[in-house]
A and B are shown apart, each in its own frame.
Chain A
Amino acid sequence: MTKITFTFQGHAITAKTGQSLAAALTKAGHRNFRETAKSAERGMFCGMGVCQDCLVTVDGKPNVRACMSPAKDGMTVTRQVPFPAFTGSAPPPSDPLHLTPDVLVIGGGAGGLSAAIAAAKAGARVVILDERKVAGGQYYKQSADGSVLDAQQGDGADLVAAAVASGAEILSGVEIWGAFDPLLFLAQQGETPIIARPNMAIVATGAYERPVMVPGWTLPGVMTTGAAQTLWRSYGTLPGQRVAICGSGPLNLQVALELTRGGAEIVRLADRASHPATRPLAALAMAVSGPMLTLKGLKMELALRRMGVAVRSACDLTGVAKQDGALAATFQGAGGDEETVTVDALCMNAGFEPQNEILRLLGAKMHYDTKMGHLRCQTDPTMQTSVSGLYAVGDCKGLGGAPAARVEGTIAGAHAAAASGFGDAYDLHGAQRALTRHRRFQSRLWRLYDIAPRGVAALSGDTPICRCEELTLDDIQVGLDDRPGHAGTLKRATRVGMGRCQGRYCGPVVARMVAETTGKPIEDLSFFAPRVPIKPVAISAILAAQEALDGEA
């Protein structure tokens, strides 16, 4: 791997080829990437292109996501100012890519790759659009340099290889920003506009992480557990030397182990839930439905313990503050005891939110899952949504885990291909039975954790809710007092959800606030209305897409 050098605020930074800017900067100890309109500091949070908070200016070009952009030799990177000068010019026309596959798969993770393999094997022309530079998704998270860290990454590499061998075409680094009826997708790959008009579409966009919202959760150095995992698994970078992890769920445990083995010191591993040992029946039920995965979990906990890291159960984060270039994270135990630890990085994961933007935009029916606290997309046994020709698999339709996503992908891929005239989608009984098993395990697994979203009453008024517009719970409450009726009216009253992340973090909270105030149950319409663009999209890209569509005629 070759070394490259770039500068950040005038400091020379050395990085490896393929490393993201966020990883290279983190490794060099830089966590403050930009200044907000209200003069707050922000850094990398989600690590997967969702929060839009890690913006830096590269060679004079503002609004570059450090987590999604590779570091390159000779770059001049600066901290982004709140109102950067825009000095764009009409981009040179670039040849658009027109895609008309039998089956378009959106997302190159466990579900998407499996769907592509099944559809391609049936004889369909398959294209996968993946947002990341390297396919594999969040679960199989591949390394940037192709090295394999462990069995999980190895399985992912095998799956990617199988997808390539199946004849499916994988397009990486593709940002989808438009989804329109009937199955028209607009995307951008670098400077190239992509117009996709598939016969069938399989959405496999996965999920992003639900944060632990406390005062200070927007500070640089606070990141999702998945972001820390990407730093380590994809780029060989630790989020910091001293690390605390909070929230609930098995990912926290896994990443604690990975970071410890990587040389980090986990000074606190807190889980909101009481320890599984205190609920033997629930633990047993999980073990019966998934003995191998349960064993894997037990082994992880034992390994952590051997390295001196004990899970602190029934323990929750209550606040984060800056302290001498580090973070002071305060935790509260079940007995009300408070303790503050000093860390370089604080990781959080308190469940997941499905990336269901495309599904909602196209009108796929949803219902609210009270246990998981998020929307679930309704699909028939073939994984087809309420919209004809639109399939959904994996966590984007509601959390289900990678094993379930793989099986759902296989089922959807075979059926989407059959619906396009390839194969007969016969003999999927095994897959259906496996799916039932995976779902049973998932449901029992999550009973042991505490990912039910917190009621608004549990949050203090100064808790930031909307990262982008920099609004606290109190700020939003004012709008709620004014006009409680709907998330949309609350948005206009307070600006909540109007920023770059498009309401991905505040939206679920706002839906709950409105529901609590009005007494109405949460449903699809409780959330912000789905709108294009699905992700922020450059005006130059829209212009290029418009010219490409004009060229179709």
Chain B
Amino acid sequence: MAKPDILVIGGGVTGTITAITLAEAGAKVTLVDAGVNAGSDANAGSLHVQMQSRFMRLYPDQVPNVEAALPFYRAAAEEWVKLDAALGGVELVRKGGLMLAETADQLAFLEKKAAREAAKGLSVELLDRVSLDRIAPWLGPQIVGAELCRDEGKLNPLLANRLLKRRAEAAGVTRLTDRVTQLRMTSHDVEIDTPDATLHADQVVIAAAWGSGDLVNAFSVTLPTRAEPLHMNITEPGAPVINHLVQHAERSITLKQFSSGQIVIGGGWPATSQGSHAPPTVRHDSMLQNVALAARLAPAISSLKVIRTWAGMNTTIDGASVIGPLPYTKRIIMAIPGDAGYTLGPLVGRMAAQIAMDAPTDFDAGPFSPARFAN
């Protein structure tokens, strides 16, 4: 293989966007993806913008970083809107996201949260039950109100991933299925080991989500990337009635209906990891509790059948994304969304490409510098 200008590690939405951006700007790009079933193209298609109650509960120490990055989430959703147009349609629907409250306490929590989010420029509004009935008449009787975040939405990830892959091919990106095990600096480039080969590139972009931490250990950076195996349920198709991305003020759930008519239920229920190189397996308690919760919030869906489940990987770090060159090794550039990787991926990927080209970034990358993890 001829030596590429830039080698991108990770073929998920982030790495693919990086590769497309660079290749379309004229660079010779190779993209290496390990082809692990759980990652890369195992996505659920939610566009998250408001602070997820699940995340706030599980990782309270990371909340300040998430809150600071709210404008970044909003910009990332905008980036998807542009991408939807550029790719010719990925069934993106941006009717907003509803975070439901079942008690007065939960509604009070949402009210405070909404105020914090409005201060960061998000388009949010608190809805009472009467207003909710107009836009979501399928909700259970116990729902007292909700926060509506108009920036949120959903899209068809299978379609988007397929179109992105075509776009990368059209841009001349070379794609390899292999697992990068180690990176080394030489005097003039980066050396990349895989089990089968040693590759060279002038620059490397690491968009390997939870696998990124291990790759940069050798460069005096301790990146706490953590894989979070998550569970998803998919129903048979029904008439289109659920327009919003639905979440809950206290409990873990996302619920949305795709244009296929199918309802996707997930939102952070754990799956069982089978190690970094195999897809996680489904836990019965996650399936039962996740779906049961959905049935209580939206009783109308209870006649539909769940036809499949799957588990994929979310990646968490410290609440903020990691974008930019390594502190002492400028040839290696990180591109890792801090959470909600599919939402942030296009913007993170694009910014990483801009950094690699020494171009100004669409969004201030300062707060996302890997320097914060330097030993």
Residues of A whose CB lies within 8 Å of any CB of B are 37, 61-63, 82-91, 178, 180, 184, 186, 482-483, 485-486, 488-489, 492-493, 495, 498-500, 502, 529, 531-533, 536-540, 542-543, 545-547, 549
Task: Given A85-B241, A486-B35, output 16 extra A-B contacts at Cβ < 8 Å.
Answer: A37-B237, A63-B303, A83-B261, A86-B303, A87-B300, A88-B303, A178-B284, A492-B161, A536-B307, A538-B302, A538-B306, A539-B235, A539-B301, A539-B302, A542-B288, A543-B296
Q: A532-B287, A542-B292, A547-B292 are in contact. Are A82 and B303 (CB under 8 A)?
A: no
> Cα distance A531–B287 when bound, in Å?
11
Taking each of A89, A543, A545, which has the highest tally of chain B beta carbons within 10 Å of its own beta carbon? A543
Nearest 4 interchain pairs by C-beta: A88-B303, A536-B305, A546-B292, A88-B302
29 contacts between A and B (CB under 8 A): A37-B261, A83-B240, A85-B239, A85-B241, A88-B299, A88-B300, A88-B302, A88-B304, A89-B299, A89-B300, A90-B140, A178-B284, A184-B284, A186-B284, A482-B165, A483-B165, A492-B41, A493-B41, A493-B158, A500-B305, A502-B307, A529-B279, A531-B282, A533-B306, A538-B306, A540-B303, A542-B287, A545-B288, A546-B288
> Cα distance A153–B290 when bound, in Å?
45
Interface size counted on chain B using CB atoms at 8 A: 43
A492 touches B292 (CB 8 A): no
Q: Does B37 contact A (CB under 8 A)?
A: yes
Q: Which residue of A lies closest to B138 (CB)?
A: A86
> Cα distance A86–B291 when bound, in Å?
16
**What residues on A are CB-neighbors of B307 within 8 Å?**
499-500, 502, 533, 536
Within 8 A of A (CB), among B223-246: 234-241
**What residues on A are CB-neighbors of B329 within 8 Å?**
none
Nearest chain A CB to B257 CB, angstrom units: 10
**What residues on B are CB-neighbors of A532 within 8 Å?**
282, 284, 287, 309
**What residues on A are CB-neighbors of B41 within 8 Å?**
489, 492-493
> Cα distance A537–B306 when bound, in Å?
5
Q: A486-B35, A536-B305, A546-B292 are in contact. Are A86 and B310 (CB under 8 A)?
A: no
Q: Does B295 contact A (CB under 8 A)?
A: yes
B305 touches A537 (CB 8 A): yes
B198-240 toward A: CB 8 Å interface, digit per residue (1/0)?
0000000000000000000000000000000000001111111
B264-295 toward A: CB 8 Å interface, digit per residue (1/0)?
00000000000000010010100111011011
B3-42 toward A: CB 8 Å interface, digit per residue (1/0)?
0000000000000000000000000000000010100011
Tell me the interface secondary structure of chain B in the complex.
Answer: mixed
> Cα distance A549–B308 when bound, in Å?
21
Q: A89-B302, A186-B284, A539-B291 are in contact. Are A84 and B239 (CB under 8 A)?
A: yes
Nearest chain A CB to B299 CB, angstrom units: 4
> Cα distance A183–B35 when bound, in Å?
32
A495 touches B158 (CB 8 A): yes
**What residues on B are CB-neighbors of A184 within 8 Å?**
284
Q: A493-B162, A547-B292 are in contact. Are A500 and B284 (CB under 8 A)?
A: no
Q: Which residue of B lies closest to A533 (CB)?
A: B306
Q: A531-B309, A539-B235, A542-B291 are in contact. Are A489 and B35 (CB under 8 A)?
A: yes
> Cα distance A465–B36 when bound, in Å?
25
Q: Which residue of A lies closest to B177 (CB)?
A: A485
> Cα distance A91–B304 when bound, in Å?
12
**What residues on A are CB-neighbors of B295 within 8 Å?**
90, 539-540, 542-543
| The residue from B161, B236, B302, B303 contacting A500, defined by CB atoms under 8 A apart | B236
Taking each of B165, B235, B241, B288, which has the highest tally of chain A beta carbons within 10 Å of its own beta carbon? B288
B306 touches A542 (CB 8 A): yes
**What residues on B are CB-neighbors of A63 within 8 Å?**
236, 303-305
Q: A492-B158, A495-B158, A543-B295 are in contact. Are A536 and B302 (CB under 8 A)?
A: no
**What residues on A are CB-neighbors of B235 within 8 Å?**
539
**What residues on B are CB-neighbors of A86 within 8 Å?**
238-239, 241, 300-301, 303-304
**What residues on A are CB-neighbors of B306 within 8 Å?**
533, 536-539, 542
**What residues on B are CB-neighbors of A540 within 8 Å?**
295, 302-303
**What residues on B are CB-neighbors of A502 within 8 Å?**
307-308
**What residues on B are CB-neighbors of A536 within 8 Å?**
236, 305-307
B238 touches A529 (CB 8 A): no
**What residues on B are CB-neighbors of A498 within 8 Å?**
234, 308
Q: Which residue of A lies closest to B303 (CB)?
A: A88
B237 touches A82 (CB 8 A): yes
| The residue from A486, A538, A546 contacting B303, defined by CB atoms under 8 A apart | A538
> Cα distance A89–B302 when bound, in Å?
6
Q: Which residue of A lies closest to B38 (CB)?
A: A488
| The residue from B162, B241, B303, B310 contacting A539, defined by CB atoms under 8 A apart | B303
Q: Which residue of A lies closest to B43 (CB)?
A: A492
> Cα distance A37–B239 when bound, in Å?
11
| The residue from A87, A538, A546 contacting B305, defined by CB atoms under 8 A apart | A538
A543 touches B177 (CB 8 A): no
**What residues on B are CB-neighbors of A486 within 8 Å?**
35, 37
A531 touches B303 (CB 8 A): no
Taking each of A82, A88, A500, A529, which has the highest tally of chain B beta carbons within 10 Å of its own beta carbon? A88
B243-262 toward A: CB 8 Å interface, digit per residue (1/0)?
00000000000000000110
Q: A88-B302, A486-B35, A488-B37 are in contact. Are A543 and B292 (CB under 8 A)?
A: yes
> Cα distance A257–B162 when bound, in Å?
50
A83 touches B292 (CB 8 A): no
B279 touches A88 (CB 8 A): no
Taking each of B41, B239, B308, which has the highest tally of chain A beta carbons within 10 Å of its own beta carbon? B308
Nearest chain A CB to B28 CB, angstrom units: 21
**What residues on A are CB-neighbors of B279 within 8 Å?**
488, 529
Nearest chain A CB to B179 CB, angstrom units: 12
**What residues on B are CB-neighbors of A62 within 8 Å?**
238, 303
B291 touches A543 (CB 8 A): yes
> Cα distance A178–B292 when bound, in Å?
15
> Cα distance A493–B309 when bound, in Å?
17
A83 touches B237 (CB 8 A): yes
Nearest chain B CB to A169 CB, angstrom units: 24
Nearest chain A CB to B345 CB, angstrom units: 16
> Cα distance A502–B296 when bound, in Å?
26
Q: Which residue of A lies closest to B262 (CB)?
A: A498
B302 touches A543 (CB 8 A): yes
Q: A86-B239, A489-B37, A546-B289 are in contact. Are A538 and B308 (CB under 8 A)?
A: no
Nearest chain A CB to B256 CB, angstrom units: 15
Q: Which residue of A lies closest to B159 (CB)?
A: A495
Q: A499-B307, A533-B306, A536-B307 are in contact. Are A485 and B165 (CB under 8 A)?
A: no
> Cα distance A88–B302 when bound, in Å?
5
Nearest chain A CB to B163 CB, angstrom units: 11
Q: Which residue of B lies closest to A497 (CB)?
A: B308
A533 touches B240 (CB 8 A): no
B304 touches A539 (CB 8 A): yes
A90 touches B42 (CB 8 A): no
B177 touches A91 (CB 8 A): no
> Cα distance A546–B283 when bound, in Å?
13
Nearest chain A CB to B271 CB, angstrom units: 11
A90 touches B239 (CB 8 A): no
Taking each of B37, B282, B287, B300, which has the highest tally of chain A beta carbons within 10 Å of its own beta carbon? B287
Q: Which residue of A lies closest to B161 (CB)?
A: A492
Q: Which residue of A lies closest to B295 (CB)?
A: A543
